[in-house]
Amino acid sequence: MSGSAPGTGVPEGRPEAGRVTGHVLGPVELAGPKGVLRPSAGKQRVLLGGLLLHAGRVVSTDELIEWLWAQTPPPTAKETLYVYLMRLRKLMQDQVGGAARLRTVPGGFRLDLPPGALDLSAYRTAVAEARRSEEDGDTTAAVDRFRAAEELWRGPALADVPSDRLQRDEVVLLTEEKNRAVEDRIELELHLGRHTALLGELRALTARYPLRERLWVLLMRALHQDGRRAEALDCYLQVRTLLLDTYGLEPGEELRGMQRHILRGGVPGPAGPGAALDPAWQIQCQLPSPPPVFVGRSDETGALAAALTPTETPGVPVALVSGPPGIGKSALAVRVAHQLRDHFPDGQWYVQLDDLAPGEHIGDLLRLSGAAPESIPASLPARAAALRARLAGRRVLLLLEDATQLDQIRPLLPSTPGCAFLVTCRRVIAGLPGAEQVRLDVLDAPDAERMFAAVAGRRAAEDRESARRIVELCGGLPLALSIAGARLVARPDTTLAAFAHRLARRKWRLDALEVDSLRLRAAVRAAYVRLTPAAQNAFRLIGLLPSNVIPSWVLSALIGPPDDEGVAEQLLRASLLNAEPDPRTGESRYRVHELLLAYAEELATAEPAAQSVEALRRLLGAFLQIAEARHPDLRPRLPLPPDDAPADQVLPQDRARRLADPRAWGPAERELAGHVIERAHRLGRPRQAARLCHLLHLTPPCFNDGSDAARRDEDGAADDRAPHPKRPGEPRATGWLLMRAARAQLERGAVAAAARSARHAWKVFTEEGELRGSAAAARLLRQIHMTL
Could you tell me the CA-to-CA distances from 367 to 176, 363, 372 in Å, in that order?
Answer: 18, 6, 7
Per-residue confidence (pLDDT) for residue 697, from 0 to 100: 54
List residues bridging with 103 in a β-sheet.
110
The CA distance from 741 to 777, in Å, is 12
Per-residue confidence (pLDDT) for residue 710, from 0 to 100: 32
Residue 118 DSSP symbol: B
> What single string gives the DSSP state of each residue in 329-357?
HHHHHHHHHHHTGGG-TT-EEEEE--SS-
Q: In what order do the strands lie in the sheet with 35-37?
A: 21-23, 29-32, 35-37
Query: Pairing between strand 21-23 and 29-32?
Result: antiparallel
Per-residue confidence (pLDDT) for residue 118, from 0 to 100: 92
Residue 5 DSSP symbol: -
Residue 417 DSSP symbol: B
Per-residue confidence (pLDDT) for residue 672, from 0 to 100: 78
> What single string gives the DSSP state of each residue in 303-319?
HHHHHHS--SSSS--EE
Whether residue 331 contacts residue 362, with contact meaning beta carbons closer than 8 Å, is answered with: no
CB atoms closer than 10 angstroms to residue 709? 23
The residue among 87, 108, 71, 81 whose CA lies nearest residue 37 is: 87
> What single string gives the DSSP state of each residue in 151-181?
TT--SSTTTT---HHHIIIIIHHHHHHHHHH
Q: Which amino acid is at 632?
A: P
The CA distance from 773 to 400, in Å, is 69
CB atoms closer than 10 angstroms to residue 370? 17
Residue 785, helix vs strand vs coil: helix
Helix (H) or strand (E) holding 272: none
The CA distance from 768 to 773, in Å, is 10
Whether residue 673 contacts residue 696, with contact meaning beta carbons closer than 8 Å, is answered with: yes
The CA distance from 70 to 771, in Å, is 63
The CA distance from 727 to 91, in Å, is 42
Per-residue confidence (pLDDT) for residue 633, from 0 to 100: 54
List residues bridging with 420 in a β-sheet.
397
List residues bridging with 435 in a β-sheet.
none
Q: What's the CA dihedral at 17, 21, 27, 29 to 10 degrees? A: 80
Q: For the chain, what is the largest distance between any 2 Cα atoms, rounded to a whole number of angstroms? A: 113
Q: What's the CA dihedral at 759, 760, 762, 765 to 10 degrees? A: 180
Whether residue 232 contacts residue 263, with contact meaning beta carbons closer than 8 Å, is answered with: no
The residue among 149, 90, 107 whose CA lies nearest residue 125 is: 149
Q: Which amino acid is at 314?
A: P
733, with CB counted inside 10 A (0-12, 13-18, 19+), is buried
The residue among 349, 347, 432 whose CA lies nearest residue 398 is: 349
The CA distance from 34 to 49, in Å, is 19
Q: How many CA atoms lie within 13 A of 338 on its CB side?
A: 11
Give me the average pLDDT of each 10-residue run along the chain (788 residues). 36 53 94 91 92 90 90 87 91 88 88 90 92 83 93 93 89 90 91 90 93 92 89 93 87 85 62 40 86 89 89 80 91 93 89 84 88 80 84 88 88 85 88 86 91 88 88 90 89 88 84 81 87 88 85 84 74 87 82 90 80 80 78 49 51 81 72 73 63 57 39 31 40 69 71 81 78 81 77
Q: How many residues does the chain have?
A: 788
Helix (H) or strand (E) holding 31: strand 29-32
Could you tell me the CA-to-CA distances from 179 to 172, 182, 185, 214, 535 in Å, in that order?
Answer: 11, 5, 10, 10, 35
The residue among 443, 495, 496 whose CA lies nearest residue 474 is: 443
Cα angle 672, 674, 675; round to 5: 65
The CA distance from 10 to 7, in Å, is 8
Per-residue confidence (pLDDT) for residue 691, from 0 to 100: 65
Could you tell me the CA-to-CA distances from 585 to 292, 324, 354, 658 in Å, in that order?
Answer: 45, 26, 42, 7
**Cβ-count burial 667-702 (b if 16+ within 10 Å, e if not):** ebbeebbbbbbbbbbebebbbbbbbbbbbbebbbbb
Residue 666 DSSP symbol: -
The residue among 324, 249, 331 whose CA lies nearest residue 292 is: 331
Could you tell me the CA-to-CA distances from 479 to 137, 335, 530 in Å, in that order?
Answer: 48, 16, 20
- Residue 227's φ and ψ, nearest 5 degrees, are 80, 20
The CA distance from 92 to 314, in Å, is 63
- Residue 274's φ and ψ, nearest 5 degrees, are 85, 5
